[in-house]
Structure 1
Amino acid sequence: MVQTRSATTQNTVLVAVFAAVIAALGIVPPITVGVTPVPITLQTLGVMLAGALLGAWRGMLSALIVVVLALAGLPILAGGRGGFGVFLGPTGGYLLGWIFGAFVVGLLVQRWAIRQDNVVVRHLCVGAAAIIGGIGVVYAFGIPWTSVSTGLSLGTSFTGSLVFVPGDLLKAVVATLIAVRVHSGYSRLLDA
């Protein structure tokens, strides 16, 4: 019984800490580009890290907490945004995508990437997980919603999202380097 409470407490703390990391990355001001009404933020790095470090369910819960708090009106999104209106605007799909993106990153890292014996292959696989979940899944929610909410064609919304790719690839590299390093020193983190 004591171990169960300890594990539950540890999981709760880890989820809360990574929700705070995602929110804290919102302090960095968003970069607005003229091509799309969606700004560039650092918060997707937090989503990738939550999944890559905590695994599927805890990573997803971290992102979900941030999304729910933002929905409730807390100004924890980049630029001090929050509230229901943000979810109806062009960024709403990306925010919803954070939840599923963190889950996919975590699932791929937990079940496949971190289990690779060769360190180079492990880095490549964790990087692939961050790209698939943290970019692919998030964009799969964000691009169509941006199209719907702005009246832009799906093709224009897709083309506009390409401006995010270089920065998001850099975030995936950072998340990969951190995750592989942390898991090499604390291999039981995904077991909790």
Structure 2
Amino acid sequence: MKDEGKRRRFPTGDLARVAVFAALIAVLGLVPGLSVFGSAVPITLQTFGVMLAGAILGRWRAALAVVVLLVLVAAGLPLLAGGRGGLAVFTLPSAGFLIGWIPGAAVTGWLVERAGRSPSFTRLLVAALVGGIGVVYLFGIPVWAMIGGLPLGTAALNSAVFLPGDLIKAVLTAIVARGTQRAYPDAVPAVHQERLRTGGGR
């Protein structure tokens, strides 16, 4: 019975979803990062993948997808924007944003799970804004200040350059997630969680 419970918690379908989104975030890294005004932290599309993972996978699967990606990066694979990889990337000013992807994806997913079986565009947007921007910045800005030798206020002000792009990513996340979840109810985290609890998950 214990083995059966474990299989239900970690079904093959879940592992496949985690792998797909880890790959998606990596693919978005093929687009070179953009450094605006000489910023030490580049603007990348990968945060869009982090938000989308949370909106479609739910909290723990999304967090696991990001963990898988970051472990591969730490192992030396050039999966971050600009072909970056290796342990050295976690010593750069952008390190806090990378680590922040994990709780950011988890919070986005948790908020979408709370939205029920048919999350609205607004709920999806709020989840992406809170998790994909608020939480990620909460980790990223202090680390940027510490590693970059900047006052916290200066690092926060510098991060404002990311906001327009991140707001667009949040809107795109809500649009893509809403369309996907209408077409495929299994892509709604609350529905998937319910099926797992009742033994109907795959």
**Do these two structures clear the TM 0.5 threshold for a shared fold by scoring above it?**
yes
Show the 5 A alignment for 1:141-160: 141-160=139-158
Separation in structure 2 between the aligned mates of residue 77 and residue 154 of structure 1, nearest angstrom: 25
Separation in structure 2 between the aligned mates of residue 68 and residue 141 of structure 1, nearest angstrom: 18
The residue identity in structure 2 corresponding to 1:80 is: G
Deviation at 1:84, TM superposition (A): 1.1
In the alignment, does 2:41 pair up with 1:43?
A: no
Instruction: Name the residue aligned to 2:95.
Output: 92
Aligned-residue sequence identity (percent) comes to 50
Instruction: Name the residue aligned to 2:128.
Output: 130
Instruction: Name the residue aligned to 1:83.
Output: 86
Separation in structure 1 between the aligned mates of residue 50 and residue 117 of structure 2, nearest angstrom: 18
Separation in structure 2 between the aligned mates of residue 17 and residue 144 of structure 1, nearest angstrom: 31
Separation in structure 2 between the aligned mates of residue 48 and residue 156 of structure 1, nearest angstrom: 26
Deviation at 1:113, TM superposition (A): 6.4
Instruction: Name the residue aligned to 2:57.
Output: 54
Cα–Cα, structure 1 residues 178 and 52, in superposed 2: closer, same or farther, change >3 Å? same
Deviation at 1:6, TM superposition (A): 11
Instruction: Name the residue aligned to 1:184.
Output: 182
Separation in structure 2 between the aligned mates of residue 93 and residue 81 of structure 1, nearest angstrom: 15
Separation in structure 1 between the aligned mates of residue 8 and residue 131 of structure 2, nearest angstrom: 31
In the alignment, does 2:71 pair up with 1:68?
A: yes
Deviation at 1:110, TM superposition (A): 1.1
Deviation at 1:5, TM superposition (A): 6.9
The residue identity in structure 2 corresponding to 1:15 is: V
What SS does the aligned partner of 1:27 have? Answer: coil
- Verify the 8 A CA contact 1:114 1:125 in the aligned structure 2: no
Instruction: Name the residue aligned to 1:175.
Output: 173
Instruction: Name the residue aligned to 2:106.
Output: 103
Separation in structure 2 between the aligned mates of residue 28 and residue 42 of structure 1, nearest angstrom: 7
Separation in structure 2 between the aligned mates of residue 48 and residue 86 of structure 1, nearest angstrom: 21
Separation in structure 1 between the aligned mates of residue 71 and residue 171 of structure 2, nearest angstrom: 28
Instruction: Name the residue aligned to 1:17.
Output: 20
Q: Which stretches in structure 1 are left out of the alignment for 5+ residues?
A: 117-121
Separation in structure 2 between the aligned mates of residue 55 and residue 95 of structure 1, nearest angstrom: 19
Q: TM-score, normalised by structure 1?
A: 0.91
Deviation at 1:115, TM superposition (A): 4.1
- Aligned residue pair count: 185
Separation in structure 2 between the aligned mates of residue 108 and residue 36 of structure 1, nearest angstrom: 31
Q: Tell me the alpha carbon deviations over residues 65-95 of structure 1, each in whole angstroms, 9 at most, x when there is no partner.
A: 1111111111100000011111111010000
Deviation at 1:111, TM superposition (A): 1.3
What SS does the aligned partner of 2:112 have? Answer: helix
Over the residues paired in the alignment, what is the CA RMSD in angstroms? 1.6
